[in-house]
Amino acid sequence: MIKRILLLSIFVFSVVAVSAKIKISGKVQDEETGLSLAYCHVKVTSNSYKSYAIADNYGNFILLIPEEINELNIDISCVGYISLTQPLYVYNDTVLTFNLKPDQINISEVRVLSRKAQQRGLNEYYLTPKDASVSATVMGEVDIIKQLQVLPGVSQGMDGTLGMFVRGGNNGNNRIELDGIPIYGNTHLFGLTSVFQADIIQDITFKMGGISAQKGNFLSSVTQVQTKDALKSSGGSISVSPFIIGGHTQFSLADKTFGVLLGGRYSLLNQEFKLIQKSLGGEGTFTPQVADGLLKLSWKIDTTQSVNLLAFATNDYLYYKNESGIAQNWDNTVFKLEWEKFFNPTASLNTMAYYNQFRNVQEQKTYDLSDGLVNGLLLSSKVKDVVFKSELTKQYNELRLSTGLSFQYTEFSPASQKVVVSSNKTEDFSSNLNSILTGAYISINHKLPGDIFYQAGVRTYYYQSGSYSNVFADVRLMADYVIARNFGVEISYDHFSQFFQVLEGLPTGWSLDLMIPASGSCKPSQSDQFYSGFFWILNQFRFNLGGYWKSLTNLISYKNNVNLFGANNATFHDELESGKGKSYGLEFMANKKGNKWSWNFAYTLSKTTRTYPTINGGNSYPFKFDRRHILNFQTNYITVNKGKRKQNVFASIAFSSGHKATLAVGEYLGVTLPYWEQSDGGVFISSEMNHQAYHRQLMSPKNSYTMPNYLRFDLGYTFIRLRRSFEREFTVSAFNVTNHKNPYLYFNESNKWYQLTIFPIMPSFRYSLRF
C-alpha cells in the first residue's frame, strides 16, 4: 500500500514539476528524539493551490510549487503525532525541518509504530523507557538494558541479572554507550540493575548486525543509550522503588538557548539494612552505598551550532564487617564535551572529547581486638580512556556520507595488588598497560529507486600496546530490499574488532571483571558475522525471520574456573587462554502494537561453541549460555483509558533451554602435594579441603550437562493518573510470579545433590511522579 502511495506521490511530483519552479524540501522528525518519521503526510495549501506529498522511509519529502504562489499553509500529519500547521512564505528553494510532538495519549504505542516502520530486519531495535516499563524486574526499577534480553539473538546469563550474550559473543563483547561514551561498569549491585536511570533516557538503539562503520572496538553488539534533550522539552520526575529513589529535572533557559538535564538515583539499602538489623538483630554491619548521577548542559550557540557538556558518575560501595571487613567498590566517572556544527542543512560536523574512567576495588581487612588493622589485601583494576573524535556528515539527495577520525588513549591497571605486610608497611604490585587506538572510517547510506537501501563502510584502526602494534580493518555491509507490499529481505555482513579483553566472572553483567589491553600474547578479538532474513510489516503487525552465522577468534578465557568472583591475585596472566568460538542460529519475531493490546513474541534457535587449546582437552565444547531454544512473550493490555485515568496490565513469559554446566560426576585417586600429610597445623584445614588433597574430582566434559529448562512468568499492573501539571504512575509487579524454581547450579555436599535457585518470586512496586 505504502509503495503504491509512494508511486502515486512520485507521479504527482512529476505532473506538478512541469510548471513548478520552487522546491520545498525537508525532513520530518520526532521532536523529542530527533528520529526521522517515515510516511508522514505533508500538505501545502493556498487559496488557489493545493499539493500533497508523503515523506519517504527516512522522513524526507520534496514538494514543487508554482513560482507565483508565495504564501501558503503547510500541514504535517503523522499517525501518533500531533499535527502541525503553520504559514509558509517561500520565494526561493527552501529546506525545512519539522519536529512533531508525540501524541501524549498513546505515546508508547504510536512511537514504536513509527520507528518500527524504519526497522526492517532483526539486526536493529529501538526502545524507549515506556517499552521497558511494561516488564517486571527484580529491583522494581524500569531497566531498559534488561529489556534487551527478550529480543531474538540474546541469551541471558544468570537469572534476573544483566548478563547478556548476543549471537554467541561474550558479555564483555557488548558495547554499551551513554551519549556515545562506552560505560564499562554498566551495572549496579553486581548486575541486578543497570546504571542508566530510565527517566533521563530518551531512547536506546540496540544493534547486533548491519552496524555502521561509525562504531568500533566491540565484537557482538552496540547499545546506544541516548539521554533527553533539555532544549526540546522540559519536565521532571521523582520515583521510588523498594531499593532506589531517583529524580530528574530538565529545563531550558534564555529562550531555549541553554538546556539543563540533571538526574540521579540513590539506594536505600543502607537504611533498610539498618532498620532490619535493628528489629531482627544480627552480627556484623553491612554498608551498601549505591548511587548514580548525570548532568548534561546544552548550549545552542546559534541555529547552526551547539555545544553539549556531559558529566556522569556511578558508585557502588558494599562493605561488610564482622570479624574481618570485606569491601567491594566500583565506579564510573565520565566527562564529555561535544560540539556540533551544521554548515548547511545537508552537511554537519560533530566533534567530541571525553574522559572515561572505570575502577573496581576489592578489599579485605582483618582487625585486632582494639580494631587495629593487622592484615589487609587490596586488589583494584582501573581503565582510563581519553578520547577525541570527529565526524563529518554530508547528504547528497538519497545518499548520506559519514566519515570520521578518532584517537583513543587508554590506561589499564589490571589487578593492582596492595598487601599490608606489617602494621606500618604495605607491599604493592601493579602493572600499568597503555594502549593507543586510532581509527578512521567512511560509511555511506544510500536509498536507491525501487525501495532498495544499502549501507557500506570500512573502519581502519592502528593499534599499539607496548611492543605490539598492527593495522586492522573492519568491513560492514548491509542491504535491504522491499520486494512487495512491505515484504522484504535484509542481508548483512560485519567484521568486528575489539582491542581490549574482558576476563569474565559471574554471568551477571559482573562489574568486577578484569579488563586488559590486547597484546602480542593476547591478540585483538575479531568476529565475522553474516545475517540474512525476511521482514513483513502489516498494519499493526510485524513479522521477522532471519538466520545468522558468526565466528569469533582470539577470545580470552580463564583456563580454569577459579576466578568467578573476579581475579583474586595480580598474577592472573598464567591463567589465560586464547581461543575461538562459533555460533549460528535462526531468529523469529512477531509483534503487534495496538491501541489497547500490544504483544511481542521472540524465538531463537541457536548453537554456540568455544574451542581453546588446553580447555576440555582442546576439543570444542558448548558455550555456557548455549541455549538451544529461547522464547520470550510479552504482552500489555490497556484496561482503563478514561480521560485522565489509565491502567494497564502486563505479563511476560520467558522460556529457554537450560544453560550448560560442568559437574563433578566422580572421583579418582590423586597425587598428594609434597609433604601435605606432614602439615604443621598452622592453619585450619577443612575436612573437604583435606579430602581434595588425596582425591580429585572427576569432572564431566566441559559444559556437557544441560540444566533444566528455564521458565518464568512475570506479572504487573500500572495505574496512571493525569493531572493538569503532572502525571502519577504506580506500578505493582512480581518477577517470577509462580515462584518457579529455576536451578542455576547443582552442587554436591556429603554425596548429596542440591540445587541453587537465584530468584524466587520477587514482588515489587514503583511510584513515580512526572511533571
Partner 1 sequence: MKKGLFYVVLAIAGFCGCVEDAPLIIETTNKVVVNCILQDSDNQALTLVYSKSRGGGLYYEPVQEAAIKLFENDTLVGEFIKAGSRTWEINFRPELGANYRLEIVMPDWKDIQANTTMPPVPKVELVYEEHYIKRFSQIDQQYSQWLFVLNSTFDERWENFFETPQINSSDRLLSNIATNHPSADRFNQYGNLGDVIGTAASLPAYDFYIRLAPIIDSTIFDVEANYCPTCFVVFRNSSPEYDQYFKTSFQKMLIYVDENDPGAWFDESVVYSNIENGVGIFGAYTDKVFVFGNAEIP
> Closer CB to partner 1, residue 565 or residue 771?
565
500 to 529: interface string for partner 1, x by CB under 8 A: ------x-----x-----------------
Smallest gap, in angstroms, from Cβ of residue 698 to partner 1?
5
Alpha carbon separation from 49 to 12, 21, 68, 157, 307 (Å, rounded): 14, 14, 10, 61, 42
Q: Select from 1-9, 447-455, 638-646, 660-668 the region that touches partner 1 (CB under 8 A).
A: 660-668
Could you say whether residue 613 binds partner 1 (CB under 8 A)? Answer: no
Please name which of 443, 447, 397 lies closest in space to residue 57, comparing C-alpha atoms: 447
The order of strands in the sheet holding 124-127 is 124-127, 201-207, 221-227, 174-178, 181-182
Smallest gap, in angstroms, from Cβ of residue 758 to partner 1?
5
> Closer CB to partner 1, residue 362 or residue 648?
362
Binds partner 1 by CB under 8 A, chosen from 570, 711, 722, 769:
570
Judge contact between 743 and 708, C-beta under 8 A. Answer: yes
> Closer CB to partner 1, residue 460 or residue 704?
704
> Closer CB to partner 1, residue 539 or residue 692?
692
Please name which of 701, 509, 715, 482 lies closest in space to residue 609, comparing C-alpha atoms: 701
Q: Which residues, numbered 430-489, are part of the site for partner 1 (CB under 8 A)? A: none
Q: Which residues, numbered 105-144, are part of the site for partner 1 (CB under 8 A)? A: 138
Taking only Cα atoms into account, the Rg of the chain, rounded to an integer number of angstroms, comes to 28
Binds partner 1 by CB under 8 A, chosen from 696, 728, 740, 770:
696
Tell me the number of residues near partner 1 by CB under 8 A: 95
Q: Which residues, numbered 698-737, are part of the site for partner 1 (CB under 8 A)? A: 698-699, 702
Q: Which residues, numbered 571-590, are part of the site for partner 1 (CB under 8 A)? A: 571, 574-575
Could you say whether residue 272 binds partner 1 (CB under 8 A)? Answer: no
Residue 398, C-alpha cell as written in the block: 538519497
Q: Which residues, numbered 185-204, are part of the site for partner 1 (CB under 8 A)? A: 189-190, 192
Smallest gap, in angstroms, from Cβ of residue 362 to partner 1?
6
Alpha carbon separation from 148 to 128, 158, 165, 457, 511 (Å, rounded): 11, 15, 11, 26, 18
Pairing mode, if any, of strands 425-429 and 399-422? antiparallel
Binds partner 1 by CB under 8 A, chosen from 104, 285, 539, 560:
560
Q: How far apart are CA 336 and CA 349, in angstroms?
A: 16
Q: Which residues, numbered 324-353, are part of the site for partner 1 (CB under 8 A)? A: 324, 326, 328
Q: Select from 305-313, 556-564, 581-589, 591-599 the region that touches partner 1 (CB under 8 A).
A: 556-564
Collapsed DSSP state (helix, strand, coil) of residue 628: coil
Q: Which residues, numbered 213-242, are part of the site for partner 1 (CB under 8 A)? A: none
Binds partner 1 by CB under 8 A, chosen from 47, 92, 675, 724:
675
The C-alpha cell 607491599 sits at 427
Determine the residue type at 94. T
Q: Select from 7-15, 254-262, 566-574, 726-734 the region that touches partner 1 (CB under 8 A).
A: 566-574
Which residues, listed in sequence order, are joined to residue 348 by a DSSP beta bridge? Answer: 342, 393
> Closer CB to partner 1, residue 49 or residue 429?
429
Please name which of 205, 181, 148 lies closest in space to residue 33, comparing C-alpha atoms: 205
The 3-class secondary structure across 48-60, one letter per residue, is: CCEEEEECCCCCE
- From start to end of 466-575, where are the E strands? 468-484, 487-498, 500-503, 514-517, 525-538, 541-558
Q: Select from 86-94, 373-381, 392-400, 715-723 the region that touches partner 1 (CB under 8 A).
A: 373-381
732 to 761: interface string for partner 1, x by CB under 8 A: ---------x-x-xxxx--xxxxxxxxxx-
